[in-house]
């Protein structure tokens, strides 16, 4: 029998029996045909690869991530992760949905065609994250869009993370409950993904009762055990893979109850450390046996998402596989096969790059190229000699802020903030062309001697700019507008680092290594300005996230996150 390929003498991991078998693997029509000794069986492979007894595992599957976090479009993203062994992903495109709504999701799906890894999608369930009273978003996803996506898009396979758990705990009528009811009635076999930080006891039970049965948030051992005991599927991202969590998983028979995911991976981290392979390595270093880690990165996520055709090296399964250098904790990927074909041959480095979205996706920043000087001034209340300002005190470790107070002088009716230990922060609405702006004062972790502007600003992605001098702020914001999106760092009147993000103001179509190098330079420049944080760009980009504690800024003004209300800048 003539077959496409033969992987000879591989140490194959059988996810069903949880054992290693030294055997041959026959591949035909993109699927595994036979796993075993082939001598004398009459196979005539068109291509043979001698694996030399090295470990062969199924292709890695990441079922919870956001491609937009890499600032990269789907094809170059997929190539970058496929080279690291990731052959299937499930992405939730809520960033681009906040800019272009239904069309944003549809165009991300189109842009994924022909990618080196299979890209499936979850429907964002929280677009926009808040009401229009608190911020201006470019798009919205409701029940009509949810129904249309499931009806028309085969690559849509689940409901993305339901973030508003307080609504579920109230157990009343709500937007989140409406989405879940639709899934129960119309898509009963599709997964409903959750975002349930720190909930335990009755609150956790209510979330499960309402229909959310997975969680990818950081857990302590008690929370993890409660989730497992109640049948909640647990998705562990890098920060959740600790020795304590691994010990908890090993204390019980948890195979199939959890998997590894990446959620948000910046491009520079992906290039330097890896993707899902990096999370697997961290689990191995924390004491998890290789066999359990492989199941958690392959068979377990496949079962969670209903992928009956992958996640194992067995007859009939898609021929996605990873050849490892050995069985050590280094988890070194030597070669990756997608549909039986080496990933290195699936797509050349030149293919897949270039314009792949509709023309208006490259014209999403609806602002004038020259922003007025008055935008970067802070007008004081009439007659005031000094003002007491509410401040967003920026934490240098997390994405949270704390509300504070700062007294500033007033000169000629304007607040004198440039000489004070603070930054002026602006969020300029960029979706409608009306250019409304919210203004705030940032303290704590701030920029000194420069400014930063970005159109990638969670979740509505209006134009965010902050700095210590109005002229630097204007220069940084103007660069972003003229480039139809991006990130720009200005120091003393000079652009020192930048990255254009022309697709929806969120994404670049350049190869991942090029984007990673630019992001690394941006983060270095931010740190040189005094904004020192483990992930400076993410920390800054969440200054506009009005569902993350405690005081945040949108184009409508300052938002008290706990009460979900706008509050005055001048206290």
* DSSP string for residues in 275-335: SHHHHHHHHHHTT--HHHHHHHHTHHHHHHHT-TT-SS-STTSB--EEEES-SSTT--EEE
Task: Tell me the C-alpha distance between 65 and 417, whole Å.
Answer: 40
Residues 101 and 199 in one domain: yes
Cα–Cα distance measured from residue 395 to residue 402, given in angstroms and rounded to the nearest whole number: 8
Among 293, 328, 357, residue at a domain's last position: 357
> Cα(355)–Cα(371) distance, rounded to whole angstroms?
28
Euclidean distance between the first and the last CA atom of the chain, given in angstroms as a whole number: 80
Q: Please tell me the total count of domains within the chain.
A: 2
Tokens of 530: 């005094």
Residue recorded with tokens 């991006």: 486
Task: With respect to residue 396, please indicate whether it lies within any of the assigned structural domains.
Answer: yes
Residues 444 and 334 in one domain: no
Residue 203 is assigned to a structural domain of this protein:
yes
Alpha-carbon gap, residue 484 to 480, rounded angstroms? 6
| Residue 269: half-sphere exposure toward Cβ, Cα within 13 Å | 20
Beta bridge partners of residue 379, listed in sequence order: 414
Read off the CATH number of the domain in which 136 is found. 3.20.20.140
Half-sphere exposure in the Cβ direction for 155 (13 Å, CA): 21
The verdict on residue 418 lying in a domain is yes
Answer whether residue 19 is part of any domain. Answer: no
User: Which token pair is 75?
Assistant: 């094809």
The CA-based angle 428-430-431, given to 5 degrees, is 140
Same domain, residue pair 237 and 261: yes
Q: How far apart are CA 255 and CA 421, in angstroms?
A: 52
Distance CA 533, CA 525 (A): 12
Residue whose entry in the numeric block shows the structure tokens 């600032």: 71
What is the rounded CA–CA span in Å between residue 33 and residue 20?
A: 18
Distance CA 534, CA 12 (A): 39
Tokens of 496: 């020192």
pLDDT at 351: 53
**Omega cis (within 30) before 459:** yes
Residue 68 DSSP one-character state: G
What's the full length of the chain, in residues?
A: 571
Both 337 and 387 in one domain: the answer is: no
**Helices 94-111 and 74-82: crossing angle, nearest 10°?**
80
* DSSP-derived pairing of the beta strands 118-123 and 156-162: parallel
CA distance 160 to 331: 30
* Cα gap 109→156, rounded to integer Å: 9
Is residue 343 domain-shared with residue 375, that is, in the same domain?
no
Structure tokens at 49: 């690869």
Please return the burial class of 9, using the count of CB atoms within 10 Å of its CB with bins 0-12, 13-18 and 19+.
middle
Task: Specify whether 135 is located in the same domain as 275.
Answer: yes
Mean pLDDT by 10 residues, the chain (571 residues): 97 98 98 96 95 98 97 96 98 97 98 95 93 93 97 98 87 92 97 92 96 92 96 96 97 96 95 97 98 98 98 98 97 97 72 74 94 95 94 90 96 96 98 93 96 96 98 98 98 98 97 97 97 92 92 97 94 85
Q: Is 447 helix (H, G, I), strand (E, B) or coil?
A: coil
> Which residue, of 304, 328, 357, is where some domain finishes?
357
What range defines the domain where residue 333 resides?
Answer: 66-357
Tokens of 42: 């009459």
Q: Which of the 8 DSSP states describes residue 198? A: T
Residues ≥6 apart with Cβ < 8 Å to 177: 167, 168, 210
Classify residue 38: in a domain, yes or no.
no
| 159 occurs within a structural domain | yes
**Measured distance CA(459)–CA(358) in Å, rounded:** 22
Report the alpha-carbon distance of residue 481 to residue 476 in Å, rounded: 9
Q: Are 243 and 387 members of one domain?
A: no
The pLDDT assigned to 353 comes to 53
Q: Looking at residue 167, what is its pLDDT?
A: 86
Pair 353, 374 in one domain: no
Which segments within 224-278 are labelled E, that is strand? Answer: 233-236, 258-260
Which pLDDT value is given to residue 347? 57
Same domain for 286 and 388?
no
Residue 47's Cβ-side half-sphere holds a number of Cα atoms within 13 Å equal to 10
Does the residue 70 lie in any domain?
yes
Cβ neighbours of residue 158 closer than 8 Å, sequence gap 6 or more: 90, 122, 123, 190, 191, 192, 193, 305
- Residue 358: asked if its preceding bond is cis (omega within 30°), the reply is no
The beta strands (E) that lie in 174-243 are given as 191-194, 214-215, 233-236
Judge contact between 104 and 141, C-beta under 8 A: no
Check whether residue 351 and residue 369 sit in a common domain. Answer: no
- Residue 66 in tokens: 């956001």
Backbone angles phi, psi at 207, to 5 degrees: -60, -45
Query: Does residue 303 share a domain with residue 276?
Result: yes
Q: How far, in Å, CA of 49 to CA of 157, rounded?
A: 34
* Predicted pLDDT at 164: 81
CA distance 163 to 447: 31
Domain boundary among 357, 380, 398: 357
Look at residue 348 in the predicted model and tell me its pLDDT: 45
Q: Are residues 429 and 562 in the same domain?
A: yes
Q: Tell me, yes or no, whether 305 lies in a domain.
A: yes
**Residue 294 backbone phi and psi in degrees, to 5:** -65, -45
């Amino acid at each position: 029998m003539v077959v496409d390929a033969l992987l000879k003498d591989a140490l194959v991991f059988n996810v069903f029996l949880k054992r290693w078998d030294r055997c041959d693997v026959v591949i035909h029509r993109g699927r595994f045909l036979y796993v075993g000794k082939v001598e004398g069986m009459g196979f005539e492979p068109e291509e043979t690869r001698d694996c030399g007894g090295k470990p062969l595992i199924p292709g890695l599957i990441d079922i919870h991530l956001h491609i937009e976090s890499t600032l990269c479009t789907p094809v170059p993203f997929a190539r970058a992760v496929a080279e690291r062994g990731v052959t299937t992903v499930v992405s939730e495109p809520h960033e681009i949905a906040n800019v272009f709504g239904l069309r944003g999701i549809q165009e991300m799906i189109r842009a994924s065609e022909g990618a080196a890894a299979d890209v499936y999608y979850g429907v964002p369930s929280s677009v926009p994250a808040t009401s229009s009273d608190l911020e201006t978003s470019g798009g919205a996803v409701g029940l009509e869009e949810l129904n249309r996506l499931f009806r028309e898009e085969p690559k849509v396979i689940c409901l993305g993370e339901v973030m508003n758990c307080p609504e579920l705990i109230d157990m009343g009528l709500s937007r989140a409950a409406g989405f879940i009811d639709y899934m129960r009635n119309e898509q009963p076999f599709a997964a409903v993904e959750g975002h349930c930080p720190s909930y335990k006891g009755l609150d956790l039970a209510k979330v499960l009762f309402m229909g959310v049965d997975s969680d990818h948030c950081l857990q302590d051992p008690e929370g993890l055990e409660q989730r497992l005991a109640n049948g909640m599927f647990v998705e562990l991202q890098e920060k959740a893979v600790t020795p304590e969590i691994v010990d908890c998983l090993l204390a019980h028979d948890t195979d199939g109850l959890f998997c590894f995911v990446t959620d948000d991976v910046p491009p520079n981290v992906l290039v330097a450390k890896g993707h899902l392979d990096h999370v697997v390595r961290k689990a191995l270093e924390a004491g998890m046996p290789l066999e359990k880690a492989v199941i958690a990165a392959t068979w377990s996520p496949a079962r969670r998402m209903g992928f009956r055709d992958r996640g194992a090296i067995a007859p009939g399964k898609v021929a996605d596989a990873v050849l490892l250098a050995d069985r050590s904790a280094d988890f070194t990927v030597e070669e990756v096969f997608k549909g039986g074909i080496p990933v290195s041959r699936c797509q050349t480095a030149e293919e897949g790059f270039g314009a792949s979205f509709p023309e208006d996706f490259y014209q999403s920043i609806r602002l004038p190229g020259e922003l007025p000087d008055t935008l970067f001034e802070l007008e004081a209340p009439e007659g005031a000699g000094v003002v007491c300002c509410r401040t967003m005190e920026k934490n240098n470790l997390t994405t949270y802020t704390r509300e504070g107070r700062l007294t500033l002088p007033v000169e000629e009716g304007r607040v004198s903030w440039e000489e004070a230990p603070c930054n002026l922060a602006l969020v300029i609405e960029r979706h409608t062309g009306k250019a409304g702006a919210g203004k705030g004062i940032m303290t704590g972790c701030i920029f000194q001697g420069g400014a930063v502007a970005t159109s990638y600003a969670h979740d509505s992605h209006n134009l965010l700019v902050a700095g210590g001098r109005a002229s630097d702020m204007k220069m940084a914001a103007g660069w972003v507008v003229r480039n139809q999106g991006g990130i720009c760092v200005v120091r003393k009147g000079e652009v020192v680092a930048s990255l254009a993000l022309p697709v929806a103001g969120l994404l670049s179509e350049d190869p991942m290594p090029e984007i990673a190098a630019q992001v690394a330079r941006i983060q270095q420049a931010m740190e040189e300005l005094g904004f020192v944080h483990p992930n400076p760009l993410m920390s800054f980009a969440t200054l506009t996230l009005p569902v993350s504690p405690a005081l945040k800024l949108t184009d409508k003004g300052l938002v008290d996150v706990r009460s979900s209300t706008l509050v005055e800048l001048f206290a």
